[in-house]
Amino acid sequence: MDIADLQHRLRGFAATRQWDPYLTPKNLAMALVVEAAELVEIFQWMTAEESQQLDGATREHLGEEIADVLMYLLQIADRAGVDVPNAVERKLVLNAKKYPEPDAPA
């Protein structure tokens, strides 16, 4: 996945529709929360086991909602000047320090 290319395509999509004035980091974050809620709604009344055994239509719907969430995240990062690959790498390092590997049993 080429993040820079996706961000470029999302900018173009928005520009041709004259959405740029509305796509502020704040507005995009609010839209992200709505899409995340739609993602959660798919699993709302499922058991943990059911959530791991989705039928094809549900998996397709899930993919659409995941794509919506990802696209909003990429747009927030793009509009706020956050380098996503660098941010992820930095966060992985921080998480490894915060949550070190458990000691191996003797």
Q: What is the mean pLDDT of each run of 10 residues along the chain (106 residues)?
A: 96 98 98 98 97 98 98 98 97 96 78
Residue 80 confidence (pLDDT): 97
Residue 104 confidence (pLDDT): 67
Domains of the chain, first to last: 3-98 (1.10.287.1080)
Residue 99 confidence (pLDDT): 95
Beta carbons within 8 Å of 58's beta carbon, 6+ residues apart: 42
Residue 103 confidence (pLDDT): 85
pTM equals 0.89
